[in-house]
Structure 1
Amino acid sequence: MRTRALTVAALSLALALAGCSSQTAQNSSPQNAATATPSAAASSSASGSTQGSGAAAGDAQAFLVRNGLAGKDVKAIVSELDRTQDDKAKGLKGSVRQGELQLTDASGATAALPIPSDSFYLSMAPYVSQTHECFYHHLTGCQGELADKTMKVTITDAAGKALVDEQVTTYANGFVGFWLPRDVTGTITVAYDGKTVKAPFATDGTSPTCVATLQLA
C-alpha cells in the first residue's frame, strides 16, 4: 500500500508541473523537501518543529540559489518566469496556486514559496480561435495563441473600482499576468484588433490562477 501511495504522489507532482492542467489534476500538493507538512509538525516536539522549519527555509534558499533566483521574492520570481521561456530549456518549472508557488528543477528538487495572503496572481491568455483547458497557471508550460500582441486590459472589482487599466503586451507564452487583491470579484475586459471580450473573475481560495476562456469576438 505504501508503494502505491508513493506512486500516486509522484504522478500527482508530475501532472502538476507538466503544463497547463485542470483543477482535478492539480488538487494534490506535492510533498516538498522545502516545505514543512502538517504531519511532520504534528509528530515533532516544539523544538523539533522549529528546527524543521529552519531546515525547510534552508532547503528553499538552496533551491533558489541553485536556480539563479536568490534574493528575489515570490512575486518577482512569478513575474520573471512568466515573461520568459529561457527557464523552460533549463528544466525549471513553476505552478501558481492560490496561496503558493510550487517549483521544480531539472534535478527533480522541489520548493514551495508562499504567496502573500493579500495577493492573488491571475494570468490570462485572450484568444481568437485556439485555447486550452487551464486552471492553475504553469509558468513555463502554458502556451496561448496571441504571443507578443498589444491589447487593452481593464479589470474592475464588483464596486466598479479599476484594479487594472493598461495597454499591455502579452508574453512569449501568449499570457499576461496581474497581481490582484485577494478575495475580490469583478469583471475582466480585453480589447484587441477591433475585438473585445468580457468575463467575470474571482480571487478567492478556490479561484483559477489561469484564465484561458477569454475568446475575443
Structure 2
Amino acid sequence: MKRYTAIALLVAGLVLVWWTFGPKDQDPFASALAGADAEEAMALANAWKQEGKGVQSYVTPEAVVFRLSESREVKVPLPDDRMVVAVAPYVSFTHRCEVHFMSSCQGELAGEKVWIRVEDEGGRVVQEGEVTLLPNGFVELWLPRGQRYAFTARYGGLEARKTLTTFANSPTCVTDVPLKETPSDES
C-alpha cells in the first residue's frame, strides 16, 4: 500500500510541477490565435463575443489584444500599411468610445443593412456599397494608414457623415455618427 501511495504522490507532484511550469499554450483561445493574422484575430474576437466565450478583446492602432486571464495577454499585430476603424452609425443611441472592444462595444443597428462610402483625401473611393453591420452594430473598415477619409452612411432615408483617420493616435472605435434626415433639394 505504501508503494501505491508513493506512486500516487509522485504522479500528483509531477502534475503540479507541469501545471505550474509547463507550457501555457494549452489554452484553447491561445491555440486558436497561434499564427492568426489581424483580420483572423478580429473575426475570432467577434465570434467569441457572439458565442459568449467571455474573452476580453479590443483593437488599438497597433494590435488586436486578447486578455485571456488576469496575467495572460495575447497581441496580434496589425499590418504596417493598414489599420481597422470600427464605425457604428446610430439613430437613437450610442456610447462614447475611442478604443474598440469587440467583446463589449454594442451599436444600435446590429445586423442592419447600411449603404456606406469611404473616400480618401484625393476623392478616390476606397469602399462603397451596402454592408450588413456586425451583430455588435459596427462595420469594420480596414484602411491604409496615415490618412483622412470621408465616411458616409445611409440607412432608411437617413444619412451620416464623419471624418475618419488612420494615424498612430487615431481612435479604432467611432460611435459619434448620428444618422439624420437629409435636407431636401427642393426650393
1:83: how far off? 5.6
Measured in 1, the distance between the counterparts of 2:47 and 2:140 equals 9
1:211: how far off? 0.5
Asked if the contact 1:64/1:70 (under 8 Å) is kept, the reply is no
TM (normalized to structure 2)? 0.77
Measured in 1, the distance between the counterparts of 2:121 and 2:27 equals 39
Q: 2:50 aligns with which of 68, 83, 86?
A: 86
SS at match of 1:212: strand
Measured in 1, the distance between the counterparts of 2:131 and 2:33 equals 25
Matched, 1:95 2:95: no
Q: 1:195 aligns with which of 144, 158, 166?
A: 158
| Distance of aligned partners of 1:83 and 1:210 in 2 relative to their CA distance in 1, 3 Å threshold | farther
1:82: how far off? 3.0
1:106: how far off? 4.8
Structure label with greater radius of gyration: 2
5+ long unaligned stretches in structure 2: 1-22, 181-187
What corresponds to 1:38 in structure 2?
A: none
Taking only the aligned residue pairs, the percentage that are identical comes to 30
Matched, 1:210 2:173: yes
Matched, 1:175 2:138: yes
Asked if the contact 1:153/1:191 (under 8 Å) is kept, the reply is yes
What corresponds to 1:47 in structure 2?
A: none
What corresponds to 2:119 in structure 1?
A: 156
Q: 2:81 aligns with which of 118, 141, 145?
A: 118
1:77: how far off? 1.1
1:81: how far off? 2.0
1:35-46 residue pairs with structure 2 within 5 A? none
| Distance of aligned partners of 1:160 and 1:132 in 2 relative to their CA distance in 1, 3 Å threshold | same
Matched, 1:185 2:136: no
CA-atom RMSD, angstroms?
Answer: 2.1
Asked if the contact 1:189/1:197 (under 8 Å) is kept, the reply is yes
What corresponds to 1:146 in structure 2?
A: 109
SS at match of 1:213: strand
What corresponds to 1:75 in structure 2?
A: 39
Q: Which has the higher strand share?
A: 2
1:66: how far off? 3.8
Measured in 1, the distance between the counterparts of 2:27 and 2:141 equals 25
SS at match of 1:159: coil
CA distances 1:139-158 after superposition (whole Å, capped 9, x unpaired): 11100111110010101011
| Distance of aligned partners of 1:142 and 1:210 in 2 relative to their CA distance in 1, 3 Å threshold | same
What corresponds to 2:6 in structure 1?
A: none
Asked if the contact 1:153/1:166 (under 8 Å) is kept, the reply is yes
TM (normalized to structure 1)? 0.67
CA distances 1:113-134 after superposition (whole Å, capped 9, x unpaired): 2111111101011000100000
Asked if the contact 2:81/2:144 (under 8 Å) is kept, the reply is yes
